[in-house]
Chains A and B, each alone.
Chain A
Amino acid sequence: MDFSARKVRMAYRMLYETVQDIWRGGWSNWVVISILTSVLAIFGFVLQLSFGLNLIGQKLTDQLEFSVYLSDTVDVRDFAVIVGKLAYVKRVEVIDKDVAWDEFKRNFTIAEDIQNPLPNTIHVRVANPEYLKSTITAVRSMLGVTDINYAPGVLGFINKLKTLFQVVGIMMAILLGIVTIVITGNTIQLVIHSRQNEIEVLRLMGVEDWYIKGPLIFQGIFYAIISATLAIIPLYLLQAFLWDTAQNLIGSALPTGLPQCYAGNIFQIYYILFVVGIIVSGSGCFWSTRKYLKI
Protein backbone atom coordinates (compact mmCIF):
# COMPACT_ATOMS: atom_id res chain seq x y z
CA MET A 1 0.00 0.00 0.00
CA ASP A 2 2.71 2.42 1.11
CA PHE A 3 4.89 1.27 -1.80
CA SER A 4 2.28 2.06 -4.43
CA ALA A 5 1.33 5.36 -2.75
CA ARG A 6 5.01 6.27 -2.85
CA LYS A 7 5.17 5.45 -6.57
CA VAL A 8 2.09 7.58 -7.25
CA ARG A 9 3.65 10.49 -5.35
CA MET A 10 6.90 10.10 -7.29
CA ALA A 11 5.04 10.02 -10.62
CA TYR A 12 3.09 13.12 -9.58
CA ARG A 13 6.32 14.91 -8.64
CA MET A 14 7.90 13.98 -11.97
CA LEU A 15 4.94 15.43 -13.84
CA TYR A 16 5.08 18.50 -11.60
CA GLU A 17 8.80 18.94 -12.39
CA THR A 18 8.01 18.51 -16.10
CA VAL A 19 5.40 21.27 -15.99
CA GLN A 20 7.81 23.52 -14.09
CA ASP A 21 10.59 22.86 -16.62
CA ILE A 22 8.28 23.61 -19.53
CA TRP A 23 7.04 26.77 -17.82
CA ARG A 24 10.61 27.87 -17.18
CA GLY A 25 11.55 27.10 -20.81
CA GLY A 26 9.33 29.98 -22.01
CA TRP A 27 9.78 30.80 -25.68
CA SER A 28 12.35 28.07 -26.30
CA ASN A 29 9.45 25.60 -26.00
CA TRP A 30 7.67 27.31 -28.86
CA VAL A 31 10.76 27.09 -31.04
CA VAL A 32 10.76 23.30 -30.67
CA ILE A 33 6.99 23.07 -30.98
CA SER A 34 6.93 25.17 -34.16
CA ILE A 35 9.68 23.09 -35.79
CA LEU A 36 8.08 19.82 -34.75
CA THR A 37 4.67 21.10 -35.89
CA SER A 38 6.07 21.97 -39.33
CA VAL A 39 7.71 18.58 -39.67
CA LEU A 40 4.56 16.75 -38.59
CA ALA A 41 2.39 18.92 -40.88
CA ILE A 42 4.56 18.06 -43.91
CA PHE A 43 4.52 14.42 -42.92
CA GLY A 44 0.75 14.61 -42.42
CA PHE A 45 0.31 16.27 -45.82
CA VAL A 46 2.13 13.39 -47.53
CA LEU A 47 0.00 10.95 -45.56
CA GLN A 48 -3.14 12.84 -46.47
CA LEU A 49 -2.28 12.77 -50.17
CA SER A 50 -1.47 9.09 -50.02
CA PHE A 51 -4.70 8.34 -48.13
CA GLY A 52 -6.75 10.50 -50.47
CA LEU A 53 -5.44 8.83 -53.59
CA ASN A 54 -5.88 5.45 -52.03
CA LEU A 55 -9.46 6.28 -51.20
CA ILE A 56 -10.31 7.75 -54.60
CA GLY A 57 -8.71 4.76 -56.29
CA GLN A 58 -10.66 2.42 -54.06
CA LYS A 59 -13.95 4.21 -54.70
CA LEU A 60 -13.40 4.37 -58.45
CA THR A 61 -12.46 0.73 -58.58
CA ASP A 62 -15.42 -0.16 -56.44
CA GLN A 63 -17.78 1.60 -58.77
CA LEU A 64 -16.24 0.20 -61.89
CA GLU A 65 -18.37 -2.27 -63.65
CA PHE A 66 -17.91 -3.56 -67.09
CA SER A 67 -20.34 -3.79 -69.94
CA VAL A 68 -20.57 -6.94 -72.08
CA TYR A 69 -21.99 -6.64 -75.62
CA LEU A 70 -23.48 -9.82 -77.01
CA SER A 71 -24.21 -11.14 -80.46
CA ASP A 72 -27.81 -11.96 -81.36
CA THR A 73 -26.96 -15.67 -81.39
CA VAL A 74 -27.12 -15.95 -77.61
CA ASP A 75 -30.00 -15.43 -75.26
CA VAL A 76 -29.13 -12.45 -73.07
CA ARG A 77 -31.00 -13.70 -69.99
CA ASP A 78 -29.45 -17.17 -70.11
CA PHE A 79 -26.07 -15.55 -70.56
CA ALA A 80 -26.70 -13.26 -67.55
CA VAL A 81 -27.52 -16.29 -65.38
CA ILE A 82 -24.24 -18.00 -66.39
CA VAL A 83 -22.19 -14.87 -65.68
CA GLY A 84 -24.02 -14.36 -62.40
CA LYS A 85 -22.76 -17.79 -61.27
CA LEU A 86 -19.11 -16.80 -61.74
CA ALA A 87 -17.08 -16.33 -58.55
CA TYR A 88 -16.83 -12.72 -57.30
CA VAL A 89 -19.63 -11.45 -59.53
CA LYS A 90 -21.80 -9.32 -57.31
CA ARG A 91 -24.53 -8.21 -59.66
CA VAL A 92 -25.58 -8.64 -63.27
CA GLU A 93 -27.96 -6.23 -64.98
CA VAL A 94 -29.55 -7.11 -68.30
CA ILE A 95 -30.10 -4.37 -70.86
CA ASP A 96 -32.36 -5.86 -73.51
CA LYS A 97 -31.61 -4.46 -76.99
CA ASP A 98 -35.33 -3.83 -77.70
CA VAL A 99 -35.89 -1.99 -74.42
CA ALA A 100 -32.76 0.09 -75.03
CA TRP A 101 -33.85 0.90 -78.57
CA ASP A 102 -37.33 2.02 -77.38
CA GLU A 103 -35.67 4.24 -74.84
CA PHE A 104 -33.34 5.65 -77.47
CA LYS A 105 -36.21 6.38 -79.81
CA ARG A 106 -38.08 8.18 -77.06
CA ASN A 107 -35.17 10.56 -76.56
CA PHE A 108 -34.14 11.10 -80.16
CA THR A 109 -36.06 11.52 -83.39
CA ILE A 110 -35.37 8.40 -85.43
CA ALA A 111 -36.79 7.33 -88.81
CA GLU A 112 -39.22 4.47 -88.38
CA ASP A 113 -37.57 2.22 -90.99
CA ILE A 114 -34.22 2.07 -89.25
CA GLN A 115 -33.47 -1.36 -87.78
CA ASN A 116 -32.40 -1.68 -84.13
CA PRO A 117 -28.57 -1.45 -84.30
CA LEU A 118 -28.01 -1.91 -80.55
CA PRO A 119 -26.61 -5.18 -79.16
CA ASN A 120 -27.96 -6.99 -76.12
CA THR A 121 -25.88 -5.83 -73.17
CA ILE A 122 -25.22 -6.87 -69.60
CA HIS A 123 -23.59 -4.73 -66.88
CA VAL A 124 -21.46 -6.79 -64.49
CA ARG A 125 -20.20 -5.65 -61.12
CA VAL A 126 -17.65 -7.70 -59.20
CA ALA A 127 -17.64 -8.09 -55.43
CA ASN A 128 -13.93 -7.29 -55.04
CA PRO A 129 -12.01 -4.91 -57.31
CA GLU A 130 -9.01 -7.24 -57.13
CA TYR A 131 -10.89 -9.77 -59.28
CA LEU A 132 -12.13 -7.30 -61.88
CA LYS A 133 -9.54 -8.21 -64.50
CA SER A 134 -9.80 -11.99 -64.05
CA THR A 135 -13.60 -11.79 -64.28
CA ILE A 136 -13.36 -9.75 -67.50
CA THR A 137 -10.97 -12.33 -68.95
CA ALA A 138 -13.33 -15.14 -68.03
CA VAL A 139 -16.37 -13.41 -69.58
CA ARG A 140 -14.42 -12.42 -72.71
CA SER A 141 -13.70 -16.11 -73.44
CA MET A 142 -17.41 -16.98 -73.47
CA LEU A 143 -19.25 -17.64 -76.73
CA GLY A 144 -21.36 -14.80 -78.08
CA VAL A 145 -19.36 -11.95 -76.56
CA THR A 146 -18.63 -9.33 -79.19
CA ASP A 147 -17.02 -6.69 -77.01
CA ILE A 148 -16.33 -5.65 -73.41
CA ASN A 149 -16.02 -2.08 -72.22
CA TYR A 150 -14.38 -0.77 -69.02
CA ALA A 151 -11.95 2.00 -67.95
CA PRO A 152 -8.59 0.37 -67.25
CA GLY A 153 -6.64 3.57 -67.87
CA VAL A 154 -8.05 5.52 -64.92
CA LEU A 155 -7.50 2.63 -62.56
CA GLY A 156 -3.91 2.15 -63.73
CA PHE A 157 -3.15 5.84 -63.38
CA ILE A 158 -4.58 6.01 -59.85
CA ASN A 159 -2.61 2.92 -58.85
CA LYS A 160 0.63 4.35 -60.23
CA LEU A 161 0.06 7.65 -58.44
CA LYS A 162 -0.75 5.78 -55.23
CA THR A 163 2.47 3.76 -55.41
CA LEU A 164 4.47 6.92 -56.13
CA PHE A 165 3.03 8.70 -53.12
CA GLN A 166 3.55 5.67 -50.91
CA VAL A 167 7.23 5.50 -51.86
CA VAL A 168 7.71 9.27 -51.53
CA GLY A 169 5.72 9.21 -48.28
CA ILE A 170 7.87 6.48 -46.72
CA MET A 171 11.09 8.21 -47.80
CA MET A 172 9.93 11.56 -46.46
CA ALA A 173 8.72 9.96 -43.24
CA ILE A 174 12.15 8.42 -42.64
CA LEU A 175 13.95 11.66 -43.51
CA LEU A 176 11.67 13.88 -41.44
CA GLY A 177 11.77 11.39 -38.59
CA ILE A 178 15.56 11.67 -38.44
CA VAL A 179 15.35 15.48 -38.66
CA THR A 180 12.84 15.55 -35.80
CA ILE A 181 14.93 13.26 -33.62
CA VAL A 182 17.96 15.51 -34.15
CA ILE A 183 15.98 18.72 -33.49
CA THR A 184 14.31 17.55 -30.29
CA GLY A 185 17.54 15.87 -29.21
CA ASN A 186 19.44 19.14 -29.60
CA THR A 187 16.75 21.06 -27.77
CA ILE A 188 16.90 18.69 -24.85
CA GLN A 189 20.68 18.98 -25.01
CA LEU A 190 20.28 22.75 -24.55
CA VAL A 191 17.92 22.13 -21.62
CA ILE A 192 20.48 19.75 -20.10
CA HIS A 193 23.28 22.30 -20.55
CA SER A 194 21.23 25.10 -19.05
CA ARG A 195 20.38 22.87 -16.10
CA GLN A 196 23.84 21.33 -15.71
CA ASN A 197 24.30 22.77 -12.24
CA GLU A 198 20.86 21.68 -11.12
CA ILE A 199 21.31 18.16 -12.47
CA GLU A 200 24.65 17.88 -10.66
CA VAL A 201 22.99 18.92 -7.40
CA LEU A 202 20.23 16.34 -7.86
CA ARG A 203 22.81 13.65 -8.58
CA LEU A 204 24.84 14.48 -5.51
CA MET A 205 21.73 14.46 -3.34
CA GLY A 206 21.14 10.87 -4.38
CA VAL A 207 18.19 11.46 -6.68
CA GLU A 208 17.70 8.43 -8.94
CA ASP A 209 18.71 8.65 -12.64
CA TRP A 210 15.23 8.05 -13.96
CA TYR A 211 13.81 10.77 -11.74
CA ILE A 212 16.22 13.24 -13.36
CA LYS A 213 15.72 11.89 -16.89
CA GLY A 214 11.94 11.38 -16.60
CA PRO A 215 10.89 15.04 -16.80
CA LEU A 216 13.10 15.51 -19.87
CA ILE A 217 11.47 12.56 -21.64
CA PHE A 218 8.00 13.80 -20.58
CA GLN A 219 8.96 17.18 -21.98
CA GLY A 220 9.55 15.54 -25.37
CA ILE A 221 6.19 13.79 -25.20
CA PHE A 222 4.52 17.08 -24.30
CA TYR A 223 6.11 18.70 -27.39
CA ALA A 224 4.75 15.84 -29.52
CA ILE A 225 1.19 16.15 -28.19
CA ILE A 226 1.05 19.91 -28.74
CA SER A 227 2.76 19.69 -32.14
CA ALA A 228 0.49 16.90 -33.44
CA THR A 229 -2.56 18.89 -32.34
CA LEU A 230 -1.30 22.05 -34.04
CA ALA A 231 -0.21 20.17 -37.18
CA ILE A 232 -3.65 18.69 -37.74
CA ILE A 233 -5.27 22.16 -37.96
CA PRO A 234 -3.76 23.22 -41.34
CA LEU A 235 -4.28 19.70 -42.63
CA TYR A 236 -7.94 19.79 -41.67
CA LEU A 237 -8.40 23.24 -43.24
CA LEU A 238 -6.62 22.14 -46.42
CA GLN A 239 -8.77 19.06 -46.64
CA ALA A 240 -11.95 21.10 -46.14
CA PHE A 241 -10.84 23.58 -48.81
CA LEU A 242 -9.96 20.86 -51.33
CA TRP A 243 -13.22 19.06 -50.64
CA ASP A 244 -15.29 22.23 -51.14
CA THR A 245 -13.42 23.01 -54.35
CA ALA A 246 -13.95 19.50 -55.66
CA GLN A 247 -17.64 19.66 -54.76
CA ASN A 248 -18.04 22.92 -56.64
CA LEU A 249 -16.15 21.76 -59.71
CA ILE A 250 -17.13 18.12 -60.13
CA GLY A 251 -19.62 17.57 -57.35
CA SER A 252 -21.83 15.02 -59.07
CA ALA A 253 -18.89 13.07 -60.46
CA LEU A 254 -17.39 12.42 -57.03
CA PRO A 255 -17.78 8.83 -55.91
CA THR A 256 -20.48 8.27 -53.30
CA GLY A 257 -19.37 7.75 -49.71
CA LEU A 258 -16.12 9.64 -50.26
CA PRO A 259 -16.72 12.52 -47.82
CA GLN A 260 -17.51 10.17 -44.94
CA CYS A 261 -14.38 8.12 -45.57
CA TYR A 262 -12.25 11.23 -45.96
CA ALA A 263 -13.59 12.77 -42.75
CA GLY A 264 -12.68 9.55 -40.94
CA ASN A 265 -9.17 9.78 -42.33
CA ILE A 266 -8.40 13.07 -40.60
CA PHE A 267 -8.71 11.29 -37.24
CA GLN A 268 -6.55 8.48 -38.53
CA ILE A 269 -3.93 11.03 -39.64
CA TYR A 270 -4.07 12.77 -36.24
CA TYR A 271 -3.59 9.44 -34.50
CA ILE A 272 -0.59 8.65 -36.72
CA LEU A 273 0.92 12.12 -36.22
CA PHE A 274 0.39 11.76 -32.48
CA VAL A 275 2.12 8.38 -32.33
CA VAL A 276 4.88 9.37 -34.77
CA GLY A 277 5.41 12.64 -32.87
CA ILE A 278 5.75 10.84 -29.56
CA ILE A 279 8.09 8.24 -31.05
CA VAL A 280 10.42 10.72 -32.75
CA SER A 281 10.32 13.37 -30.05
CA GLY A 282 10.66 10.79 -27.28
CA SER A 283 13.54 9.15 -29.18
CA GLY A 284 15.25 12.54 -29.51
CA CYS A 285 14.95 13.16 -25.79
CA PHE A 286 16.07 9.65 -24.93
CA TRP A 287 19.08 9.88 -27.25
CA SER A 288 20.00 13.28 -25.84
CA THR A 289 19.72 12.23 -22.19
CA ARG A 290 21.84 9.17 -22.88
CA LYS A 291 24.47 11.16 -24.73
CA TYR A 292 24.67 14.35 -22.72
CA LEU A 293 23.34 13.45 -19.28
CA LYS A 294 26.14 11.67 -17.51
CA ILE A 295 24.75 10.46 -14.24
Chain B
Amino acid sequence: MIHFVNVTKKYGELKALDDVSFQIPAGEMVFIVGPSGAGKSTIMRLLYREEKPTSGQVFVSNVDVSRLPNNQTPLLRRRMGVIFQDFKLLQNKTSFENIAYPLFAIGMDHNEIKKRVHGALKVVSLTNKANDFPRNLSGGEQQRVGVARAIVQGPSLLIADEPTGNLDPATSMEIFQLLEKINQRGTTVMIATHNQQIVDQMRKRVIVMNNGKIVSDVQAGTYIPQPQ
Protein backbone atom coordinates (compact mmCIF):
# COMPACT_ATOMS: atom_id res chain seq x y z
CA MET B 1 0.00 0.00 0.00
CA ILE B 2 2.75 2.46 1.03
CA HIS B 3 6.36 2.17 -0.01
CA PHE B 4 9.09 4.70 0.82
CA VAL B 5 12.27 4.09 -1.16
CA ASN B 6 15.41 5.90 0.06
CA VAL B 7 13.49 9.09 0.66
CA THR B 8 15.40 12.20 1.64
CA LYS B 9 13.72 15.53 2.25
CA LYS B 10 15.77 18.67 2.80
CA TYR B 11 14.59 22.14 3.81
CA GLY B 12 17.61 24.19 2.83
CA GLU B 13 20.49 22.56 4.69
CA LEU B 14 18.20 20.86 7.20
CA LYS B 15 17.50 17.17 6.56
CA ALA B 16 13.94 16.42 7.69
CA LEU B 17 14.18 12.86 6.32
CA ASP B 18 17.43 11.08 5.68
CA ASP B 19 17.35 8.08 3.35
CA VAL B 20 14.15 6.63 4.78
CA SER B 21 12.78 3.33 3.46
CA PHE B 22 9.84 1.28 4.70
CA GLN B 23 6.76 -0.55 3.47
CA ILE B 24 3.25 -0.77 4.84
CA PRO B 25 1.02 -3.47 3.42
CA ALA B 26 -2.69 -2.90 2.81
CA GLY B 27 -4.93 -3.31 5.83
CA GLU B 28 -2.24 -2.61 8.42
CA MET B 29 -2.40 -0.07 11.26
CA VAL B 30 0.96 1.58 11.90
CA PHE B 31 2.14 4.20 14.37
CA ILE B 32 5.01 6.53 13.61
CA VAL B 33 6.46 7.89 16.84
CA GLY B 34 9.35 10.10 17.76
CA PRO B 35 10.18 13.46 19.28
CA SER B 36 9.32 16.78 17.64
CA GLY B 37 11.39 17.34 14.50
CA ALA B 38 11.94 13.59 14.03
CA GLY B 39 10.31 13.69 10.58
CA LYS B 40 6.88 12.17 11.35
CA SER B 41 4.85 15.00 9.86
CA THR B 42 7.16 15.18 6.83
CA ILE B 43 6.31 11.54 6.05
CA MET B 44 2.61 12.43 6.22
CA ARG B 45 3.03 15.51 4.04
CA LEU B 46 4.93 13.49 1.44
CA LEU B 47 2.09 10.95 1.40
CA TYR B 48 -0.64 13.44 0.63
CA ARG B 49 1.66 15.29 -1.75
CA GLU B 50 1.90 18.50 0.21
CA GLU B 51 5.67 18.11 -0.22
CA LYS B 52 7.88 16.40 -2.75
CA PRO B 53 10.96 14.42 -1.70
CA THR B 54 14.38 15.88 -2.46
CA SER B 55 15.38 12.38 -3.56
CA GLY B 56 13.87 8.91 -3.47
CA GLN B 57 10.38 7.69 -4.27
CA VAL B 58 7.08 7.56 -2.40
CA PHE B 59 4.59 4.97 -3.63
CA VAL B 60 0.94 4.84 -2.63
CA SER B 61 -0.94 1.91 -4.19
CA ASN B 62 1.94 1.49 -6.65
CA VAL B 63 1.70 5.12 -7.81
CA ASP B 64 4.83 7.23 -7.38
CA VAL B 65 3.21 10.28 -5.80
CA SER B 66 6.48 12.22 -5.93
CA ARG B 67 6.19 12.24 -9.73
CA LEU B 68 2.46 12.74 -9.89
CA PRO B 69 1.46 15.73 -12.08
CA ASN B 70 -0.03 18.62 -10.11
CA ASN B 71 -3.45 18.21 -11.68
CA GLN B 72 -3.62 14.62 -10.36
CA THR B 73 -3.00 15.65 -6.74
CA PRO B 74 -6.68 16.29 -5.88
CA LEU B 75 -7.58 12.81 -7.11
CA LEU B 76 -4.81 11.27 -4.94
CA ARG B 77 -6.06 13.19 -1.92
CA ARG B 78 -9.62 12.05 -2.50
CA ARG B 79 -8.42 8.46 -2.42
CA MET B 80 -6.97 8.87 1.04
CA GLY B 81 -8.45 10.30 4.20
CA VAL B 82 -6.39 12.78 6.19
CA ILE B 83 -6.93 13.67 9.86
CA PHE B 84 -5.20 16.71 11.36
CA GLN B 85 -4.14 17.70 14.86
CA ASP B 86 -6.12 20.97 14.67
CA PHE B 87 -9.15 19.21 13.09
CA LYS B 88 -9.26 21.72 10.19
CA LEU B 89 -13.03 21.99 10.19
CA LEU B 90 -14.82 24.80 8.36
CA GLN B 91 -16.16 26.86 11.24
CA ASN B 92 -19.12 28.28 9.35
CA LYS B 93 -20.43 24.89 8.31
CA THR B 94 -22.29 22.29 10.33
CA SER B 95 -20.90 18.82 11.00
CA PHE B 96 -23.01 17.49 8.14
CA GLU B 97 -21.77 20.19 5.75
CA ASN B 98 -18.14 19.69 6.78
CA ILE B 99 -18.33 15.98 6.10
CA ALA B 100 -20.33 16.45 2.90
CA TYR B 101 -18.15 19.19 1.43
CA PRO B 102 -15.71 16.99 -0.54
CA LEU B 103 -18.66 15.03 -1.91
CA PHE B 104 -20.45 18.18 -3.06
CA ALA B 105 -17.22 19.28 -4.73
CA ILE B 106 -17.19 16.17 -6.93
CA GLY B 107 -20.85 16.61 -7.87
CA MET B 108 -22.20 13.58 -6.03
CA ASP B 109 -25.97 13.10 -5.98
CA HIS B 110 -27.58 14.69 -2.91
CA ASN B 111 -29.32 11.50 -1.75
CA GLU B 112 -26.06 9.58 -2.02
CA ILE B 113 -24.31 12.33 -0.03
CA LYS B 114 -26.93 12.13 2.72
CA LYS B 115 -26.55 8.36 2.88
CA ARG B 116 -22.77 8.51 3.07
CA VAL B 117 -22.59 11.34 5.59
CA HIS B 118 -25.09 9.67 7.92
CA GLY B 119 -23.10 6.45 7.57
CA ALA B 120 -19.89 8.26 8.51
CA LEU B 121 -21.58 10.04 11.42
CA LYS B 122 -22.81 6.65 12.64
CA VAL B 123 -19.26 5.24 12.56
CA VAL B 124 -18.03 8.12 14.74
CA SER B 125 -21.20 8.04 16.92
CA LEU B 126 -22.21 11.61 16.17
CA THR B 127 -25.56 11.21 14.42
CA ASN B 128 -27.15 13.54 16.98
CA LYS B 129 -24.64 16.34 16.19
CA ALA B 130 -25.15 16.52 12.43
CA ASN B 131 -26.52 20.05 12.53
CA ASP B 132 -24.12 21.44 15.13
CA PHE B 133 -21.41 23.91 14.21
CA PRO B 134 -17.81 23.13 15.28
CA ARG B 135 -17.92 25.88 17.93
CA ASN B 136 -20.68 23.94 19.69
CA LEU B 137 -18.71 20.69 19.77
CA SER B 138 -16.06 19.51 22.24
CA GLY B 139 -12.50 18.88 21.02
CA GLY B 140 -13.12 15.13 20.87
CA GLU B 141 -16.34 15.61 18.94
CA GLN B 142 -14.65 17.96 16.49
CA GLN B 143 -11.95 15.38 15.86
CA ARG B 144 -14.61 12.72 15.34
CA VAL B 145 -16.18 14.98 12.69
CA GLY B 146 -12.67 15.20 11.19
CA VAL B 147 -12.49 11.40 11.15
CA ALA B 148 -15.96 11.15 9.57
CA ARG B 149 -14.91 13.62 6.85
CA ALA B 150 -11.75 11.57 6.22
CA ILE B 151 -13.65 8.29 5.77
CA VAL B 152 -16.74 9.55 3.96
CA GLN B 153 -15.27 8.91 0.50
CA GLY B 154 -14.39 5.34 1.53
CA PRO B 155 -10.61 5.69 1.22
CA SER B 156 -8.37 2.67 1.31
CA LEU B 157 -5.76 4.67 3.26
CA LEU B 158 -6.32 6.86 6.30
CA ILE B 159 -3.46 9.00 7.58
CA ALA B 160 -3.60 10.92 10.82
CA ASP B 161 -1.04 13.54 11.79
CA GLU B 162 -1.02 13.93 15.59
CA PRO B 163 -4.79 13.33 15.76
CA THR B 164 -4.90 13.57 19.54
CA GLY B 165 -2.40 16.40 20.02
CA ASN B 166 -5.13 18.75 21.24
CA LEU B 167 -7.13 16.21 23.25
CA ASP B 168 -7.12 14.88 26.82
CA PRO B 169 -5.97 11.27 27.44
CA ALA B 170 -9.46 9.76 27.76
CA THR B 171 -10.69 11.40 24.55
CA SER B 172 -7.43 10.48 22.82
CA MET B 173 -8.04 6.83 23.66
CA GLU B 174 -11.54 7.06 22.19
CA ILE B 175 -10.13 8.48 18.95
CA PHE B 176 -7.47 5.74 18.69
CA GLN B 177 -10.11 3.10 19.32
CA LEU B 178 -12.23 4.68 16.60
CA LEU B 179 -9.28 4.53 14.19
CA GLU B 180 -8.70 0.90 15.16
CA LYS B 181 -12.35 0.15 14.40
CA ILE B 182 -11.94 1.74 10.95
CA ASN B 183 -8.76 -0.32 10.42
CA GLN B 184 -10.64 -3.50 11.30
CA ARG B 185 -13.00 -2.74 8.38
CA GLY B 186 -10.01 -3.07 6.03
CA THR B 187 -8.68 0.48 5.78
CA THR B 188 -4.92 0.95 6.06
CA VAL B 189 -4.30 3.40 8.90
CA MET B 190 -1.10 5.33 9.51
CA ILE B 191 -0.83 7.54 12.57
CA ALA B 192 1.94 9.95 13.53
CA THR B 193 1.80 10.64 17.25
CA HIS B 194 3.64 11.72 20.38
CA ASN B 195 1.26 9.76 22.55
CA GLN B 196 3.53 6.88 23.58
CA GLN B 197 1.22 5.69 26.36
CA ILE B 198 -1.61 4.91 23.98
CA VAL B 199 0.76 3.44 21.39
CA ASP B 200 1.93 1.01 24.10
CA GLN B 201 -1.64 -0.07 24.75
CA MET B 202 -2.67 -0.45 21.12
CA ARG B 203 -0.06 -3.18 20.38
CA LYS B 204 0.39 -2.34 16.69
CA ARG B 205 3.38 -1.97 14.41
CA VAL B 206 5.48 1.02 15.49
CA ILE B 207 8.07 2.91 13.42
CA VAL B 208 10.29 5.00 15.66
CA MET B 209 11.99 8.01 14.14
CA ASN B 210 14.69 10.38 15.31
CA ASN B 211 16.55 13.12 13.44
CA GLY B 212 14.92 12.16 10.14
CA LYS B 213 15.96 8.49 10.35
CA ILE B 214 14.10 5.32 11.25
CA VAL B 215 15.66 4.05 14.45
CA SER B 216 13.38 1.05 14.87
CA ASP B 217 10.51 -0.65 13.08
CA VAL B 218 8.83 -3.30 15.19
CA GLN B 219 5.83 -5.48 14.48
CA ALA B 220 2.60 -5.50 16.49
CA GLY B 221 3.05 -6.45 20.10
CA THR B 222 6.84 -6.33 20.13
CA TYR B 223 7.33 -2.61 20.66
CA ILE B 224 9.26 -1.85 23.84
CA PRO B 225 8.72 1.78 24.69
CA GLN B 226 11.70 3.94 25.51
CA PRO B 227 11.78 5.32 29.07
CA GLN B 228 10.27 8.83 29.15
Contacts and interface: CB of A to CB of B under 8 A. Distances in A.
B105 interface: yes
Contacts of A5: 107, 109
A13 B104 contact: yes
Contact of A205 (B50, B77, B92, B110): B77
B117 to A, nearest CB: 14
Contact of B76 (A7, A197, A201, A206): A206
Q: In terms of DSSP, what is the predominant structure of the interface of chain A? A: helix
Contacts of B88: 197, 200-201, 204
B82 interface: yes
Nearest to B113: A9
B75 interface: yes
Contacts of B73: 206
A10 B77 contact: no
B170 interface: no
B154 interface: no
A213 B82 CA distance: 22
Interface string B22-56: 00000000000000000000000000101000000
A209 interface: yes
Contact of A198 (B82, B90, B104, B105): B90
A201 B134 CA distance: 14
Contacts of A207: 74, 101-102, 105
B215 interface: no
Interface in B107-150: 107-110, 149
B15 interface: no
A280 B110 CA distance: 36
Chain B CB within 10 A, most for which of A201, A202, A211: A201
Chain B CB within 10 A, most for which of A5, A6, A207: A207
A205 B73 CA distance: 10
Nearest to B77: A206
A98 interface: no
B92 A10 contact: no
Contacts of A211: 105
A106 interface: no
10 contacts: A5-B109, A6-B108, A9-B110, A10-B106, A197-B88, A204-B50, A204-B88, A205-B77, A206-B78, A207-B101
